[in-house]
């Protein structure tokens, strides 16, 4: 038995689809009401009078999805007939957001649904609020994947997204006395109407055991894997609709179950725990996104997750998507497997294993195919974020794959040795196998060796990737490296998230911008139109009022709507420098309470944070605790009422982002130069009319170049200056000693002024800033404060600020994920759209 074989007789293949079955529901209010009531009565089994809001939401979701399913079936039939090259996007994360609004937008059903529900005494807003978004991502990586598959569907490019159906997803964040507490996120508890399970297409995935040498019928010695245990992967399909173009692609997420879920003999003997042990053991693989990996068990579980989903996905594409008897030598003409960071890189030896051990290919042929089938996107510049797997762990879980990795490395180093004879240090630097501090497999190196292309995600990031992260590989394969700057989907983050701004834009330039974001440049002349600027400000005010209403209901937070909204929303990591923003707030507070600055001279601001810290990231949790402590103190001080306010709603997610981002005035993008790969929050905020204060880092550089220096608040060291300072020896305490304003802010924190009872002074944060400060917060502090004075001056002139905000919107069409997909297609994938005849 092979390690990835179909566990249950497969369903009829996709060529069995009959176009006579593809009848779309009628589009009218009466037809919608009839369809909705049928779903409510016969799908949910309740009458309208007895139905709950959840019943009504589920009935609505299924009614709306019917309008997409006929298009989905048509897309599958066309794809089967044409056998067009397909993007197989392998990602451990998909931060999808709520699906109902996106489905309504794609199917153009908004007005019909609003009117139909009204006739039944319901409101769309109430049912919309019932949906729980899938917590299948941690931040930008997962949201980027969701944007990309949305764009590919809208551009009619064949794509299958592959990932994991985490039962509990990313954790639900709560605050207890200001400290982050993680809770499970049971997002599936009330049902999920957007998924289609197909247990008949389950895939068996095996682990452990050992390898043996065997001689095949031709007398050739081969290695074979003798696994020890297995699990089953059940696919759940999601529709990914294009924007009103008739195409619906597929997202396929895998859920782990036991191959033998229930042991009746154990149950009958009274051992009820052992009876379900197999199921419990298997389900842990797809239970939680990114299990905490500070323990050996956590590390091993992460590797199990990664192999599980790529093994399922490769098997699915080869055995279910490709036609029978397909010549796998032509696989590069039918598929490109995009590795979204290092999490899915174990797919490389898995494809080699399938080709050699299951399909009978020789090594050279299998490697030639594999090298053309993969491309790798690197999303980081932090060495610790480039995944490595100890040989001991990889060999114990996947012994055959470790053999294949060793062979790939040997052959690769033979080529390096031939090109650079005698350069043993280069050999050590480029080896896929690291020898120190423990023998490990460097997954980024494996992806680079195997991939047809390697890309970064912003101009600076891609340059640093070539020059500093993978310099030897860039020297060896200069043409393999390219750049694709990230983008975001305008459908979700402007058209859905900011309906009033969308209407204003459409009134000014027409509706075509939704699928051609470059057309936003037509807004430029309106920046000089006083009446348009006034309407633009009215939209921003309405967005703040909407956000205030949400936070009052969701978090019991009172948000002032007549102050600048200064937001920093992103994953909590020290390189993103939430501490720098915090020091600005503490400085303003200290200056007021000391009498140094009159409160009336402070620009009224609300500082809004949104961030989760990884469960095992202690310093990040300390920073969250300090942010909340400072916020509590500032908000309770009557002297600052109407001038300074700090809000930190818990559990920042896509749903909250869709309300918070449109309301923002100022976007904080203040990472240390050379550390942020790209960022996408910066793009979303600029497209919604927020001005950026930021460093020359990631995509900030491209935003600043496009919007102009007059419409961007630049500060801080640039990347060469960062490197020079760190090389010369950075001493953060010296900045503390020579800057009295900085010293006063840090001393106030250290004094316990924000600790309530004064007993806890956030010593870990203070000590880290003064003695380590790896990301140069103190070095950039003075420049940051100076930039904030420029912000104050600009905001004091509403017309000037509105003009700059409109120009940000008009000049950021480049940051559409549609453009990013065109770049991937042109530079990496070569997967043309499949258009209607």
Active site residues per annotation = 379, 570-571, 576, 680, 684
How many CB atoms sit inside 10 A of residue 693's CB? Answer: 25
Closest-CA residue to 761 (of 748, 772, 745, 771): 748
Per-residue H/E/C for 53-98: HHHHHHHHHHHHHHHHHHHHHHHHHHHHHHCCCEEEEECCCCCCCC
DSSP label at 829?
I
List beta partners, residue 203: 6, 233
Closest-CA residue to 385 (of 339, 431, 444): 444
Residue length of the chain: 837
| Phi and psi, residue 763, nearest 5° | -55, -40
CB 169 within 8 A of CB 289: yes
What is d(CA 249, CA 164) in angstroms, rounded to the nearest whole number?
17
Q: Which two tokens stand for residue 263?
A: 């042991």
**Which are the contacts of 739, defined by CB distance < 8 A and separation ≥ 6?**
781, 782
Judge if the upstream peptide bond of residue 637 is cis by omega within 30 degrees of 0. no
Coil, strand or helix at 365 = helix
What is d(CA 661, CA 664) in angstroms, rounded to the nearest whole number?
5
Q: Are strands 159-164 and 248-257 parallel, antiparallel or unpaired?
A: parallel
Closest-CA residue to 2 (of 350, 392, 366): 350
Closest-CA residue to 656 (of 216, 197, 98): 98
The DSSP-derived string for 342-362 is: STTTTHHHHHHHIIIIIT---
DSSP label at 521?
G
Biggest CA-to-CA distance, the chain = 89
* Cα-only R_g, the chain: 28
**Which are the contacts of 65, defined by CB distance < 8 A and separation ≥ 6?**
103, 193, 194, 239
**Which are the contacts of 744, defined by CB distance < 8 A and separation ≥ 6?**
587, 590, 594
For tokens 């690291």, name the residue: 434
Beta-sheet strands, E only, within 365-445: 374-377, 388-390, 433-434, 440-442
DSSP label at 238?
E
What is d(CA 506, CA 520) in angstroms, rounded to the nearest whole number?
10
Q: Which two tokens stand for residue 762?
A: 């956030």
| Phi and psi, residue 676, nearest 5° | -85, 125
Q: Which two tokens stand for residue 204?
A: 């068996």
Per-residue H/E/C for 92-121: CCCCCCCCHHHHHHHHCCHHHHHHHHHHCC
| Phi and psi, residue 566, nearest 5° | -110, 110
CB 149 within 8 A of CB 248: no
What is d(CA 784, CA 789) in angstroms, rounded to the nearest whole number?
9
Phi-psi region of 569 (alpha: psi -120 to 50; beta: other; left: phi over 0): beta
Q: Which two tokens stand for residue 703?
A: 């935003």
- Rounded to the nearest 10 degrees, how much is the dihedral formed by the CA atoms of 675, 680, 686, 689? -130
How many CB atoms sit inside 10 A of residue 561's CB? Answer: 17
- Which H or E element spans position 659? helix 654-663
CB 368 within 8 A of CB 450: no
């Amino acid at each position: 038995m092979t390690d990835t074989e179909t566990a249950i007789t497969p369903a009829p293949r996709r060529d069995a689809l009959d176009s006579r079955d593809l009848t779309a529901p009628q589009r009218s209010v009466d037809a919608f009401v009839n369809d909705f009531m049928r779903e409510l009565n016969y799908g949910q089994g309740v009458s309208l009078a007895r139905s709950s809001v959840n019943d009504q939401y589920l009935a609505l979701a299924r009614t709306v999805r019917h309008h997409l399913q006929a298009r989905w079936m048509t897309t599958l039939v066309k794809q089967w007939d044409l056998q067009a090259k397909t993007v197989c996007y392998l990602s451990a994360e998909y931060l999808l957001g709520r699906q109902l609004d996106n489905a309504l937008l794609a199917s153009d059903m908004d007005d019909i649904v609003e009117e139909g529900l009204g006739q039944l005494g319901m409101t769309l807003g109430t049912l919309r609020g019932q949906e729980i978004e899938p917590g299948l991502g941690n931040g930008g990586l997962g949201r980027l994947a969701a944007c990309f598959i949305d764009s590919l569907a809208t551009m009619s490019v064949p794509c299958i997204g592959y990932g994991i159906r985490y039962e509990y997803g990313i954790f639900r964040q709560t605050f207890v006395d200001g400290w982050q507490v993680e809770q499970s996120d049971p997002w599936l508890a009330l049902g999920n109407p957007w998924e289609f399970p197909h247990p008949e297409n389950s895939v068996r995935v095996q682990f452990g055991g050992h390898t043996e040498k065997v001689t095949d019928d031709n007398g050739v010695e081969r290695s074979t894997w003798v696994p020890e245990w297995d699990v089953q992967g059940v696919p759940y399909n999601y529709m990914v609709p294009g924007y009103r173009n008739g195409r619906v692609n597929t997202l396929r997420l895998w859920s782990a179950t036991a191959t033998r879920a229930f042991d009746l003999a154990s149950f009958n003997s009274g051992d009820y725990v052992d009876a379900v042990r197999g199921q419990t053991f298997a389900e842990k693989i797809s239970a939680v996104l990114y299990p905490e990996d500070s323990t050996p068990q956590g590390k091993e579980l992460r590797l199990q997750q990664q192999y599980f989903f790529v093994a399922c996905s490769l098997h699915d594409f080869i055995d279910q998507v490709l036609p029978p008897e397909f010549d796998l030598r032509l696989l590069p003409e039918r598929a490109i497997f995009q590795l979204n960071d290092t999490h899915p890189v174990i797919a490389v030896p898995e494809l080699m294993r399938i080709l050699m051990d299951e399909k009978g290919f020789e090594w050279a042929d299998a490697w030639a195919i594999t090298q053309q089938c993969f491309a790798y996107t690197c999303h980081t510049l932090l060495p610790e974020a480039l995944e490595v797997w100890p040989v001991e762990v990889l060999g114990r879980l996947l012994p055959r794959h470790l053999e294949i990795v060793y062979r790939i490395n040997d052959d690769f180093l033979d080529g390096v040795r031939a090109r650079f004879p005698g350069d043993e240090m280069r050999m050590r630097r480029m080896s896929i196998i690291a020898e120190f501090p423990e023998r490990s497999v460097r997954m980024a190196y494996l992806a680079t060796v195997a991939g047809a292309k390697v890309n970064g995600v912003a101009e600076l990031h891609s340059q640093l990737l070539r020059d500093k992260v993978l310099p030897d590989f860039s020297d060896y394969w200069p043409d393999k490296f390219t750049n694709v700057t990230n983008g975001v989907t305008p459908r979700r983050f402007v058209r859905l998230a900011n309906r009033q701004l969308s209407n204003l834009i459409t009134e000014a330039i027409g509706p075509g911008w939704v699928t051609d974001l470059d057309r936003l440049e037509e807004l430029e002349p309106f920046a000089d139109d006083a009446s348009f600027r006034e309407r633009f400000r009215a939209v921003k005010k309405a967005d703040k009022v909407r956000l205030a209403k949400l936070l009052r209901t969701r978090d019991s937070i009172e948000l002032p709507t007549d102050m600048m909204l200064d937001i920093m929303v992103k994953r909590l990591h020290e390189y993103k420098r939430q501490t720098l923003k915090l020091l600005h707030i503490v400085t303003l507070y200290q200056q007021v309470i000391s009498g140094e600055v009159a409160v009336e001279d402070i620009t009224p601001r609300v500082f809004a944070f949104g961030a989760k810290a990884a469960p095992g990231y202690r310093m990040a949790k300390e920073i969250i605790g300090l942010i909340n402590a400072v916020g509590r103190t500032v908000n309770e001080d009557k002297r600052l009422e109407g001038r300074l306010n700090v809000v930190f709603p818990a559990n920042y997610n896509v749903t909250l982002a869709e309300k918070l981002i449109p309301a923002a005035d100022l976007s904080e993008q203040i990472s240390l130069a050379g550390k942020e790969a790209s960022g996408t929050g910066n793009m979303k905020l600029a497209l919604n009319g927020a001005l950026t204060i930021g460093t020359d880092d990631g995509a900030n550089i491209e935003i600043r170049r496009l919007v102009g220096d007059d419409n961007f608040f630049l500060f801080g060291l640039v990347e060469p200056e960062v490197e020079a300072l760190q090389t010369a020896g950075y001493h953060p305490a010296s900045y503390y000693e020579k800057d009295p304003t900085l010293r006063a802010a840090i001393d106030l924190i250290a004094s316990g002024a924000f600790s309530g009872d004064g007993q806890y002074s956030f010593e870990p944060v203070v000590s880290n800033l003064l003695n380590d400060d790896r990301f140069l917060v103190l070095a950039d502090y003075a420049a940051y404060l100076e930039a904030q004075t420029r912000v104050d001056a600009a905001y004091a002139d509403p017309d000037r600020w509105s003009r700059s905000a409109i120009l940000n919107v008009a000049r950021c069409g480049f940051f559409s994920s549609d453009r990013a997909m065109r770049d991937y297609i042109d530079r990496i994938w070569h997967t043309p759209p499949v258009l209607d005849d």
